[in-house]
Amino acid sequence: MPVLLLAGCQSPAPRSTDRALPAAPFGEAIRAEYDALGKRGGRMYVIDTARSQLLIYAYRGGTAARLGHNHVLRAAQIEGYVHVPATAPADARFDLRVPLAQLVIDEPQLRAATGDAFAGERTASDIAGTRHNMLGPDGLDAARFPDVRVRSTQVSGDWPALVADVEITLHGVARMLTVPLRVHRDGADMNISGSLVLRQSEFGAQPYSTLLGLLAVQDPVTIRFELLASEQH
């Protein structure tokens, strides 16, 4: 699900529907929608940021790629709601938001845990440069487009192996993507995990490139997530 894009030089891999969108409010209006759904039956959940993880992997490219760096980004803030009807999961619905300003770039422990070509610490100035290249006006332009939105349009399959058709909005453009999900329910908690690939060029953002393409970031980025949602009454 959604889920979120974005690496110091990367982007998303969607399908169709490309349209420029203004940023709509996310917060009280969405919460009110889900409160209303909950009153009609079923269960309403809220994403618990502290117990959730969303990681983005961006890959070095260019003719001198070996001189560049791969990047691991972590979403420090994830907002979202899930509604599950009392019957089959087919009518389930979810909305997520990931603020780009809250992305944490190249934490040493995440680079070490990923290992191999992602291992090795980076300096504070390197990380600041990656953030500028990724979120600045020549990248995802986070000042104008401050977040990534994910909204389900249809859920198929059955517990625990579900398939969600989602609309992802990034850089002012919405795209449709189908994402397989593993969803486990344990009392008042719901665990949602999966992965997807996005291409930033599909959202009108160009992957970072310098020195006539000598150093660059590849267009695809991988997003892996494990979201923990708690039931609200």
Is the per-residue pLDDT at 3 higher than 50?
no
Identify the domain containing residue 113 by its residue range. Answer: 19-232
- What helix, strand, coil percent values describe the chain, rounded to 5? 20, 45, 35
- The reply to whether 10 falls in a domain is no
- With 80 as the cut, is the pLDDT of residue 16 above it? no
Q: Which two tokens stand for residue 115?
A: 């290992």
Q: Is residue 160 part of a domain?
A: yes
Better-scored residue on pLDDT, 211 or 122:
122
- Are the beta carbons of 177 and 166 closer than 8 angstroms? yes
CATH code of the domain in which 43 resides? 2.40.128.110
Number of domains in the chain: 1
Q: What is the pLDDT of residues 143-162, one digit of tens each?
A: 999 999 999 999 999 999 99
- Mean pLDDT is lowest, of 4-13, 148-157, 167-176, 183-192, for 4-13
Query: For 22-36, what is each residue's pLDDT tens digit?
Result: 445 677 889 999 999
Q: In this structure, is residue 85 part of a structural domain? A: yes
| Residue 120 φ/ψ region, left for φ over 0, alpha for ψ in the -120 to 50 degree band, beta for the rest | left
Q: What is the mean pLDDT of the chain?
A: 86
Is 56 part of any domain? yes
Of all residues in the chain, the percent with pLDDT exceeding 90 is 66
159 in any annotated domain: yes
Is residue 70, in this structure, part of any structural domain at all? Answer: yes
Among 231, 226, 160, residue whose Cα is nearest residue 195 = 226
pLDDT digits (tens, 9 = 90+) for 30-60: 999 999 998 889 999 999 999 999 999 999 8
Whether residue 187 is contained in a domain is answered as yes
Q: Supply the pTM of this predicted model.
A: 0.85
pLDDT higher than 80, residue 214: no
d(CA 119, CA 72): 10
